[in-house]
Amino acid sequence: MSALPAYASTGQRIWHYTFRYVICGFILFFLIAPILTIIPLSFNAENFFTFTPAMLSLSPEGYSLKHYQDFFTNSDWQQALKNSFLIAPAATILSTSLGTLAAIGLSQSHVPFRRAIMAILISPMIVPLIISAAGMYFFYSRIGLQGTYWGVVLAHAALGTPFVIITVTATMVGFDRSLTRAAASMGADPVTTFFKVQMPLIIPGVVSGALFAFITSFDEVVVVLFLGSAGQKTLPWQMFTGLREQISPTILAVATIMVAISIVLLSVLEMLRRRSERLRGLSPS
Amino acid sequence: MSASTTVSSTSGSSGASGPLTNDGQPLKRSLARALRREKFRALLLISPLLVFILVSFVMPIGDMLFRSVENKIVEQTIPGTVRALASWDADSAELPDEAVFAALADDMMLAQEIKIHTRLGSRLNYDQPGISSVFRKSGRKIKGLDHEAAMAGFIAIDPAWGTPEAWTTLRNMKAWPGKFPATAQSWDNWKAWYLSEEKEELDPATTIPHGFTYAALYHDLAAMPASSIDAFATSKNTDAAALFKNLVGQVDSIPSDDFKAQFADIEKGWAELDNWQAIQRLSPRIVDSYFLAAIDAERTAEGIESKPDNERLYLKLFVRTIFMSLVITGSCILLGYPVAYLLANLSVRASNMVLILVLLPFWTSLLVRTSAWKVLLQQQGVINDLLVWAGVINEAGRLVMINNMTGTIIAMTHILLPFMILPLFSVMKTISPTYMRAAKSMGASDSLAFWRIYFPNTVPGIGAGSILVFILSIGYYITPELVGGTTGVFISNRIAYHISSSLNWGLAAALGSILLILVLALYWTYDRIVGIDNVKLG
């Protein structure tokens, strides 16, 4: 497949190109087209969800920034944006700090009940969101956290920790233990060793874990829908109600901005992955 | 890390205790201590997160599981009735006796005062449709019940019964509250009622209870053997003896308010046998009724039975959820396999480019992708416009692709496709191209080599991806809610409905518990096949 041999028959050539360009091309189109379609649609001058004749003829009257203007001036959207940026960083800090500590603990060579502990720590990722949301709603209303800022932050932090655990333990796997021993033999205490030797090496894992945790909270809608009150309305929540009730093209503008954010995050993650592999002496692939 | 375990270089072995370390400890003990310390340190690092997850996540899940069987509300709202009803034989084809109705009058008097009777009505209504209106309609009329006949009867026998002192004496007796369960309950109800009505604590030295409590006392006395009353009348407690002296042989002459008939007048539902059977069935604190409802069954006089076909809702929904998840998993395999194959067989540079096309949707917000599909699939949307323009369909024949099963399947296949491609890709990467070459060199055709050599090697990847996609889709909520209409929704949408709209939390918890068990069973399978530690994130 990788390279068609010179002796390939015509049939093989036809199949090779059909497979590569028609079948795979179609599937990749299916994957990417919906996301790409909404980008031009978000510049629609009309309140339609389809391409107007003016847009198709590429005339400038067909395009406008009015949906973006609406997003940046509408108080509902701005409040939602603000809430998202209040909740996600707090949840990220909580889950990253606790998660990194636990991941370091889990990477020690002797951890009693490792499997059971791992199962519990990973469980927020396994349990369907609707069930987590239901349980948290019942439990948090018992203890008065339902409808509060901290309730949402705690819930999001819990949902984000499995990602931190997974990414940080993955970096710890390639970690050379003789480095900490070397530091200790030269008289460094455990705290210095951690910050001077261990931390710089695992930092790519920690940062990508933090990014995952951030995205988890920033994208999360089911739990916040149940746990939050009007005061904690986040961007996804606002999009969800917008899609369910009065669908407005502003949603497409928001969606486009969020696609841009995910492209930035994806590039950062890829950079971190390469850096981490280089640091650990693996050849980047 | 292991400073204390450096073995002394001089001493080889010293007697039976084995080699010694520098500080003179036997090496074995020293090593054991170091190991213990290391274990402790690991646990110390893990414990903050463990506690956090236990409190913020595991306990809520436990709470949900508990709620699916918990049923304290009946006993809390009508405690006296529940107690009196315990001895009633539900199969007797006769209504409960007067003592039960007297207790009900008493309980309802308090319940309607503090406005909790409708809540109980709604709870019972989940299992006994129609009973909530019985409770609702009775609420206000309870105050109009005649309830003073027993009180008058007691006072006629001995005027002392109309004084607060009589009640103080009664409550100081050794037999209180053991032998007067209904009266003691009624006294507590009366205290709570008084507090709610008068906004102040009851002073037992100046007040006598209302007629319902006298009725309860009558039923307690009537249930006792005559010898007990004789014993009270001759007891050493002189106050009590005086109080009960005149009651000997007179209890039967105390008139009753006939609450049974009065309740039947208020609302005919109180004279219906099946309502009472439902109340008795739902009296325990732990019930399986929510689980039965979640599998479309109910407990009738003949035992547990499935509901008639046209009333079955949840089993159908579970079946639909599983069926649609299977379809979505199938389409993910169909679409994911070629892309994963392409990724695994392109040059590193090209495959990285294609990988970005896979990862971009993976990283894009779920709501962005759902809104994209909502926009594309509408009847006035891009896809229909395109088809009309191309002449495939005419203006009137625009396809309905949203708010039904098709919409959910298309959108969810798109959303979950990366979860199929990534595990497949990681498996395919490890398959050496020499296998295929070997097969072909021995004369296999392209398709034979593929099906006999390549495909079997990718089966673990298909398995891992399928279970992952299936688990994710079976619990999906947002996408079906937005593009599923009524025919394309999952069981999770029903759970959400019961939490936020119908407020039947017990049923929501039972449905959630069943879904949770299903998902955990699948994960267990996944762990057996792939191992949970091998979960990779792009």
Spell out the domain ranges in chain B. Answer: 3-67, 77-145+258-281, 149-253, 314-534
Nearest-Cα distance to chain B for A59, in Å, is: 19
- pLDDT digits 0-9 by tens, B48-84: 999 999 999 999 999 999 999 998 888 888 888 888 8
pLDDT at position A283, please? 52
The least confident of A133-147, B75-89, B502-516 is B75-89
The answer to whether residue A237 neighbours chain B at the CB level (below 8 Å) is no
The answer to whether residue B357 neighbours chain A at the CB level (below 8 Å) is yes
The answer to whether residue A257 neighbours chain B at the CB level (below 8 Å) is no
CB neighbours of residue B65 within 10 Å = 18
Q: What is the DSSP letter of B477?
A: -
pLDDT at position A9, please? 86
Chain B residues in contact with A211 by the CB 8 A cut-off are none
* Average pLDDT of span B338-364: 89
Classify the complex by whether its ipTM is higher than 0.95, answering yes or no: no
Please indicate whether, in this complex, the C-beta atoms of B52 and A161 are within 8 angstroms of each other: yes
Chain A residues in contact with B67 by the CB 8 A cut-off are 138
Which helix (H) or strand (E) element contains residue B50? Answer: helix B27-53
Residue A259 burial (10 A CB sphere; 0-12, 13-18, 19+): buried
pLDDT at position B11, please? 43
Does the pLDDT at position B108 exceed 90?
no
Q: What is the DSSP letter of A143?
A: T
Does the pLDDT at position B303 exceed 80?
no
Locate CATH 1.10.3720.10 in chain A: 76-247
* Average pLDDT of span A265-272: 82
* Average pLDDT of span A197-213: 87
Dump the DSSP string for B133-162: HHHHHHHHHGGGS---HHHHHHHHH-GGGG
Chains A and B form CB pairs within 8 A to the count of: 279
* Average pLDDT of span B196-203: 80
For residue A239, give the nearest of B46, B59, B367 by CB distance: B367
Q: Up-side HSE of residue A89: CA atoms within 13 Å toward CB?
A: 5
Chain B residues in contact with A28 by the CB 8 A cut-off are 339, 354, 357-358
CATH topology of domain B314-534: MetI-like fold (1.10.3720)
* A positions 149-208 inside 8 Å of B (CB): 154-155, 157-158, 161, 163, 165-167, 180-181, 184, 190
May I ask the CATH class of domain A76-247?
Answer: mainly alpha
Confirm if B388 and B394 have CB atoms less than 8 A apart. Answer: yes
For residue A258, give the nearest of B35, B365, B500 by CB distance: B365
Instruction: Identify the top-confidence range among A265-279, B65-79, B111-125, B406-420.
Output: B406-420
Using CA coordinates, name the residue in chain A closest to B32.
A110
Confirm if B492 and B411 have CB atoms less than 8 A apart. Answer: no
- Who's near B431: CB < 8 A, 6+ residues apart? B344, B454, B457, B458
Buried b (16+ CB within 10 A) or exposed e, A103-136: bbbbbbeebeeeeebbebbbbbbbbbbbbbbbbb
Does the pLDDT at position B14 exceed 70?
no
> Would you give the distance in Å from CA A208 to the centre of its chain?
10
Please indicate whether, in this complex, the C-beta atoms of A139 and B372 are within 8 angstroms of each other: no
pLDDT at position B2, please? 42
